[in-house]
Structure 1
Amino acid sequence: MARIRKIEIRNFRSIGRLDWFPLPGINCLIGPGDSGKSTILDAIDFCLGARRNLTFCDDDFHRLKLEQPIQISVTLGELDSHLRSMDAYGLYLRGFNFQSGVIEDEPGLGLDTVVTIELTVGDDLEPQWQLVSPRAAGLGQSRNLSWADRVRLAPTRLGQSGEHNLSWKRGSILNKVSEERASAASAIAQAARDARIAFGNKAKDQLGEALAAVQTTAGRLGVPIAGQVQALLDAHGVNFTGGTISLHGGDGVPLRGLGLGSIRLLVAGLQRHVAGDAPMILIDELEHGLEPHRIIRLLTELGAKEATPPLQAFVTSHSPVAVRELSVKQLHVVRPGPFGHMVSWMGLAGDVQGTVRKFPDALLARSVLVCEGASEVGLIRGIDLYRQAMNWPSLTALGVALVDGGGDTTFTRAIAFQQMGYRTAVLRDSDIAVHGDLEAGFLQAGGQVFKWADGHALEDELFMSLSIGAARQLLERAIDLKEESVVGDHIRSVSQNGYQLDVVKTAATFGSLDAATRNMLGRASRTRRGWFKSVSAMEAVALDIIAPDLHQIAGTKLRTTIDALFQWFGHV
């Protein structure tokens, strides 16, 4: 069965240039919105789809560059005996080198025999398809795939709706399930209801193989169908053609009345049923209409867990569920670059599977900030909320994801994101020695590190840098969160009874917190059961106390570090 070996796109919509070598199984395209994921699916569909007419407009040209033609080339390998036939396509057969990715002009030993289909659209907006062959061009010859081969190789496309695949319309998956075809002529002569019943009785024999496949697939996937599936005349059919015949449940209700998710799941199951003859499927927004458990079921049906992929699937997704369930070898990040679009295969990133499973949502962002712990995550989230209220763009709008580094694993996780091609930074404390070699390698590879003053953890920096009023509010918030007796015990413990809570509160009230007292409060606040050690606690503190105070503490390490961080966020 044919598999796509290479995709080349030039001057098509958001993509000026792209060269991509997809894998034989699932190719899940991820990345932020507007990065070109759906455009890649459209390019494959337009080039390989069995269409006699395809409409283009000026907007389909990259940046409206009408003087440069749209060119989409798809190279197919693993050809069946018919496509490899010298009589059928001998002049157009080429060789693909798996090691180098080079396409040779002729087949050869150790090369995969391939054909390349190219779609070209000029400023006249008329699409032209042809097989690519320098040998044929040298002889002044050109041709396209035969229509029968185009129909056979055309990928099944699942967009927001797949209900057209539940009738025998042109391009429907049902036409690939079997060679059976039904004639509606005799049933049409009767009254509408009688015609549906009469045709249904005949269709049991005429379409038995296809109906059995649908029934089996629906049962295996848990798609609800009442009784035995039938092929009846569609009551909404206007022209009595193959499209007039659609799938119905045993109660006579058309299966197009199923929920969107059920339709997509059923069509994907049928695509697997015909994978030997029609091996490709395109699914835009994989998760559309599906609950998390059915997303997992769909991925399993596509062969996500199988060593030998049953079909080649090209899917896009913004679902953390899909990212978590797939192997890194099935994930591809789409990014625009200065020299064209890139599709980065995560299988080259090394041992990052654990990071992907733990933080799947971060893989859908443009930039990743790995925070040393939950407190730092809460700090940035709270300041971000405050800035949003001041009409600054949010971190989500800037495409930034926050990741809890888990203390000792901070740089390990940061390096994993860096290896996957993400713009990555670290926010860390400076109170203890860090993994110097890991940090040095991270910085050398282009990462950025933000940290507090030497010897300071986040809590130290807060009590040392904030104004007296804000420091007093921090102490009052700690009492609200932990109770006065607990906070008092922490203060006495770290100061070896040198300080008492009442005395410190009085000093804060009258604006006389000296450096030694501030230093003690920082150490007391970060005990093992610290005052603000959760994301939610520090987020509230940052929103209510820290962010409003930043304008009063210009020049402090706290202020300069936060300013540098948000400047980094803005340059995405």
Structure 2
Amino acid sequence: MFLSQITIENFRKIQSLNLELNKGLNLLVGENDSGKTAIIDAIKFILGTHSNDWLRLEKDDFYSADGKTYATEIKILCIFKNLSEDEAAMFLEWLSIEDSNYYLKLTFKAKRKENSNSISEISYDIKAGEDEESGVVSGEARNKLKVTYLKPLRDAEYELAPRKGSRLSQILANYDIFQTEKGEKHPLVDIMNTANTYVNTYFENDGKEILKKINDEYLEEFSLVNNGVKSKLDISPNELGKILEKLELKGFSKIEVGNLGLGSNNLLFIAAEMLLLKGSNYTGLKLSLIEEIEAHLHPQSQINLIDFLSKQSEKLGIQSIITTHSNSLASKVDLSNIIICKNGKAFSLRKSETKLNAGDYEFLRRFLDDTKANLFFANGVIMVEGDAENLFLPTFAEFIGIPLHKHGISIVNVGSTALLRYAKIFLRANSTKGVLDIPVAVVTDLDIKPRKYFEENTVEKKMYKITDTNINTIKTQFNVLSTIDFSSLLGIEYSSKSKLESDFKSLIPKDSKVKIKAGEYLSALLVPVDFNLDTLPDIMANVLQDRQFEDQKVKYFIGTDWTLEYLLGLSCLKDLFYEAILTAKLLQKSDDFDFNDDEYREEIKRINQKANGEIASWEELETTPEIAYKLYWEIMQGMGKNKTSKAIVAQCLASLLEREKNNQSLVSRVKKDQHLKYLIDAIKHAANVQS
């Protein structure tokens, strides 16, 4: 039996939510106040917890759109499926049937009546059955539906310590080896009785002085003659439940002596809770709710834990609903187990719910690491294909007055042209059920070289396209690539064979032994298409049009010429761009520069003067495209032979923009520059800022 579906209406920030859950692991991700805890608490209200956590509905638990007017009714509905025969027998009078399969429907309804003094009277009931009015669920049946709950700020050491009603004693009491028939003694009772005998014997002999003082010197004086009081020392009543309350679960490290820290104690506590759910005699719902599972755990322990839960959940028959803010955890879990929470809505990434195809899921399983998983926790996302954009855009955004961190925007550096595969995470298969309200801006280059390049390199006056036939031939030649989806490359015209080969190889796993050979094989298959230089503007316009993409909240923003760097050379930032190139070349020569050293400062001043002077002289003699070509291709890329790092240039340019942040004249020109417009529009889209 597992919780298959939950529907929530008018609970906290959730106005209406319908969520289908996985049988095993469900990982709730999202920014703060997105609704993760509301989902967990809704389940706790309707099902209760094994630890009998105290729950009380307040007025604030009723949905309010404006903080003034509150809903008057909360409804939480749970549907349980895959009931075994034994489980079905426990809930027989409330069961429903669908396609010859039993399911259990539980409905929680709370009503709020506001008195004239503005104090709310709140009542609720829980009923079972298809029509929601079939009948009240018995206490015994409800006990079988309780969940295991681990709160976010849990005190694991306290929970596992000996005390009356300790959590550890509750867990152990439900385990099969602590179940006894009526009138039967558990072995632990005999053990404790034996220990008690030894304790009594000790205080009757070696320790008798203590009892003598208590009885003769004090109690005899305190008590009445006709009602004398005596005492003895022994172990408290040896009922099994009392014995279990005296037990403490302590952990120890194989490499360190002493008490465990918070992280290790949390692992110990989770292990104890798993013991309850795994108990062979436990026949109820095996559902664990864990908030902020990463609490007190370092990243490697987080990964080990989530890996266990991910692989073992269904095997052990345990369903888990877990919340997290950890990039590491989100990147290690199968995408289909993730549920993104946003604005009181929940969006499952199961295969039937998104526009990702089977190949996309396989690709993302390999390449979605923790540096990219921050997209699950963002208000907006900007996806880029390289380090240069990743390093430059945050400073550029701040320069134009839209700081990314203030708008909760994450930049995801995909490191390849497989941008749409990541973007489709946010696209719903059926948008009528709701759209994920996270704007995604995909920033990419046009990657068509300018006329001057082809005039100087007549041999390369060709375009390249990958075809279905090429892909099928490669998959036949290399069987290990048969499951990889290369469709994102289809229809794209490349002016560089090496760029097409690079994009092709980026879709193949890094550890694949055929990666290089497959790239070379593709290169041999490609048939170049000659073109007339006079048609280059039409080709560029067609490619720009073909690459446009907008669906739901995902939108492409494509540079209008060659690359980001070439466009910077065309823009009003060309002088700063040249200064950044020269600074990057200086830094690449040596790692020993002290940025506070007078010699370095003098060199930077010389570079500034050189850049400004040469740009001014070039502008008198050359066109802007010629200057851009000179800056990017000839100086920065060394005609393809002596390249300056794009990443270092981007870092240097970001520093120079920071220097010019109070130059309002430059800020104004940047905002109006058509060559930078695609970057500005991408940032505005991700930030939900109107143009």
Aligned CA distance change for structure 1 residues 43 and 440 (closer, same or farther; 3 Å): farther
Q: Would you say 1:73 and 2:89 are equivalent positions?
A: no
What is the aligned length?
493
- C-alpha distance in structure 2 between counterparts of 1:170 and 1:201, whole Å: 15
Q: Pick from 92, 95, 99: which aligns with 2:94?
A: 92
Cα 1:47–1:412, aligned 2, differ >3 Å: closer, same or farther?
closer
What residue number does 2:101 align with?
A: 111
The counterpart of 2:633, out of the listed 509, 514, 523, is 523
Pairing partner for 1:543 from 643, 649, 658: 658
Deviations 1:38-93 (A, max 9, x none): 110011111111559632222111115545311122223344556523xx644321
CA contact (8 A) 1:31 1:364 kept: yes
Contact kept, 8 Å, 1:32 with 1:366, in 2: the verdict is: yes
Give the Cα–Cα distance (whole angstroms) in 2 for the partners of residues 399 and 297 of structure 1: 29
Which one of the candidate residues 412, 419, 431 is aligned to 1:403?
Answer: 412
Correspondence for 2:375 among 362, 377, 395? 362
Q: Which whole-Å CA distance do the structure 2 matches of 1:370 and 1:547 have between them?
A: 28
How large is the Cα RMSD of the aligned pairs?
4.4
**Structure 2 residue identity aligned to 1:394:** P
Change (3 A) 1:144 1:333: same
The AA in structure 2 aligned to 1:84 is A
| Offset from partner CA, 1:367-406 (integer Å, 9 cap, x none) | 322213111111202223546xxxx553133232212232
**1:383 and 1:547 in contact (8 A); partners too:** no
1:262 has 2:264 as partner: yes
Secondary structure of the residue aligned to 1:76 is strand
Structure 1 letter corresponding to 2:644: G
CA contact (8 A) 2:163 2:245 kept: no
Deviation at 1:284, TM superposition (A): 1.0
Aligned equivalents of 1:18, 1:33: Cα separation in 2? 18
Does the residue aligned with 2:315 lie in a helix, a strand or coil? coil
Structure 1 range deviating more: 292-301 or 473-482: 473-482
- Determine the structure 2 residue equivalent to 1:156: 148
Q: Name the CA distance, whole Å, in 1 between partners of 2:273 and 2:245.
A: 15
Partner SS, residue 34 of structure 1 = coil
Cα separation, 1, equivalents of 2:70 and 2:668: 51
Q: What amino acid is the match of 1:295?
A: Q
Of 429, 449, 472, the match for 2:556? 449
> Do the aligned residues in 1 keep the contact of 2:173 with 2:244 (CA within 8 Å)?
no
The 5-angstrom pairing of residues 230-269 of structure 1 reads 259-269=261-271
State the alpha-carbon separation in 2 of the partners of residues 161 and 383 from structure 1.
42
The residue number in structure 1 matching 2:598 is: none
Shift of 1:431: 3.4
**TM alignment of 1:502-521, pairs within 5 A:** 506-508=613-615, 512=619, 514-515=622-623, 516-521=626-631
Is the CA contact 1:161–1:260 (under 8 Å) kept in the aligned structure 2?
no
SS of residue paired to 2:320? strand
Between the aligned partners of 2:420 and 2:386, the Cα distance in structure 1 is 12
Deviation per CA, 1:299-325: give whole Å up to 9, x if none: 244354566254111111110111122
Task: Specify every segment of 5 or more residues in structure 1 that has no aligned partner in the other structure, as ranges.
Answer: 95-106, 227-250, 252-256, 485-500
Bigger radius of gyration, 1 or 2?
A: 2
Specify the alignment match of 1:279 in structure 2.
Answer: 286
Q: Report the identity percentage.
A: 17
Counterparts of 2:121 and 2:635 in 1: how far apart (Å)? 68
* 1:555 shift after superposition: 3.5
Match of 2:305 among 298, 304, 307: 298
Partners in 1 of 2:645 and 2:54 — Cα distance? 67
Letter in 1 for 2:129: S
1:413-492 equivalent positions in 2, closer than 5 A? 413-416=422-425, 418=427, 423-432=439-448, 435=489, 437=491, 440=546, 443-446=549-552, 447-453=554-560, 455-466=561-572, 469-470=575-576, 473-482=579-588
Q: Does structure 2 retain, via aligned residues, the 8 Å contact 1:282–1:313? A: yes
Q: Secondary structure at the match of 1:161?
A: coil
Deviation per residue, 1:142-181 (Å, 9 max, x gap): 31231x4434432121111144532566583531323559
- Residue 547 of structure 1: how far off its partner (Å): 9.2
Ranges in structure 2 where 5+ consecutive residues have no aligned partner: 114-119, 180-187, 212-230, 430-435, 450-464, 466-488, 493-544, 591-607
Equivalent residue number for residue 63 of structure 2: 62
Normalised by the size of structure 1, how large is the TM-score?
Answer: 0.73
Distance 1:172 1:208, change over 3 A: closer
Does the 8 Å CA contact 2:29/2:341 hold for their aligned counterparts?
yes
Give a deviation string over 1:129-148, Cα, whole Å, max 9, x none: 322335684xxx631231x4
- 397-406 or 532-541: which moved more? 532-541
Q: Secondary structure at the match of 2:397?
A: helix
Partners of 1:568 and 1:136 lie apart in 2 by: 44
Q: What pairs up with 1:300-379 in 2 under 5 angstroms?
A: 300-304=307-311, 308-336=315-343, 341-348=345-352, 349-350=356-357, 351-352=360-361, 353-357=365-369, 359-379=372-392
Q: Residue type of the partner of 2:383? A: V
SS in 2 for 1:6: strand
Compared CA separation, residues 42 and 503, structure 1 to 2 (3 A): closer
Q: CA deviation at 1:286?
A: 1.3
Deviations 1:264-307 (A, max 9, x none): 32222122222142611111111111111221232244354566
AA aligned to 1:21 is: E
